[in-house]
Chain A
Amino acid sequence: MTETAITTEEPKTPVPGTGHLGQTFLVGDEIYIRAVEPADNAYGQSWTRTILPRSTERYETWIKEEMAKAKRQATYIILRKSDDVAVGSLTTRRWDPVTQVMPWVDPLDGEQGQRWLAEALGMAIPWLVDEQQRPIVKIDVPADGAAVIDRLDAIGARPEVRFREMLRTWGGRTDLLLFEYLNRPWVDRLGDPRDVPLERSGTGEPRPVLAPLILDGDPPANAVKVGHRVYLRPVEKKDAAQIARWTRQETETFWDAGRFMHSTHGYAAWETDQQKKEPRTWVNFAVCLRENDELIGTLGVDGVDYVHGFAETGSLINRPEYRGAGYGSEAKHLLFDYAFNTLNLHALQSFVIYPNTRSAAALRKQGYQEAGRLHWDFASFGKFENFICFDLLAADWRRMPRADFVAAGPDEERA
């Protein structure tokens, strides 16, 4: 075969408006959807889900080298039928049973852009779930996109979570909505996940925040935030062996999908990678006792979004003797101080599986509000497990009453 023989067959879309011809699916009235092609770099700024500017050369490298390496992730371009111009994109990330869909349309296209995005989602979601038989698709959209939300409602996607004020928009902030679209045969098999009861423990009432501590003497070595009984310091390489050992000694199985084992090297390598970054999207702290500097657990913020100003929190007190005595909550408020007052984040979110009623109760006590439910996230004992979602705004946390430190009883955390 000669080079020219192949070249003549290439889809050069010589005549604008013919790019969709011959395509058998995902072609709508105003737009069509296809995979990324090298020449799409020309419109990279229009269809990439970012408000940070990058050159067409940078988009070219990204398409050819980086995007092709992404595992379990695909990007689809939304193109206008009339002239084959790229106006937006849908990025999908699959980890069965879940496919996450991250939609985007050029904000400069205004209301017509929202119409195009609505049409794209109206085609792509049934394609993923009804044709490709993925069990569940989750779509995150800003709460101010009425046309998109109307279309999602119309095809039977359901709004399940509302994270308050999570996104920046032109001149302000808006909520982030998470929609879900379920595969009908799986609903017939397992039932509607909205009908699964959520058990609760605890009062659900927030407790006052401990007033900030004024240190008399020196802070503990290398401490970043100091409370009455605990302080936060960077995780050190040597903590890894300790943490790996504790994961082998865990007695509880309800936090997560059973127990997991860390390897010393795995934990150290992960932490080292994070600590080399500036700024950091995953910030982990060692929680130590003030009385003897002993390590009792770790906590941190993950997925820090510096553009929109939010992050996810996570924590684990590894040593059972320090669970249920308020150490976790004290450390968590030090983390809030770091997230809201040092990183100046606007909001935090947190996710807890249904069976972990204890962590959910602790979050409510710490001031988080329930933001909704996420369903069918991972396989668990004959069904797919669900998450309860929480959020906490900096403004909410600042308004919480401050109280003086009083030593807590042993059952405080379980209350």
Chain B
Amino acid sequence: MPTLADIDEAKKECVAVLDSRIDAAQELLNDASGAAAAKLVGVIDQLTKKRLDIFTQKYIADLKSEAMKNALDVIKQATKDMNEVAQTMKTVTDFINKAAALLGAGATVLPALKGTNS
């Protein structure tokens, strides 16, 4: 079974082969004109697309990998923990604000009630 290093080496070789072909096509294009030039532009487009595809496939494999999934799970859990703790202080603050408002109202009402009773 090929190792990751083997796959990486094979990828580099493929890219090197494509690069040399792209360079060769570009050299031909520099001396071409008309329909021949248009055709060579098409060839270079195909070769550069193949080159890009090698990198794209590697990225897709990494994006969908188990390692990426596990790493994102850890990050999501840490996010949840921090948000919960951050929220605690806000909840306590809200509670104190409400209690203070209630006491404030009490402080206003109490003297009035005392006045009525006396």
- Real complex partners, A and B? no
Binding site for A on B (CB under 8 A): none
Binding site for B on A (CB under 8 A): none
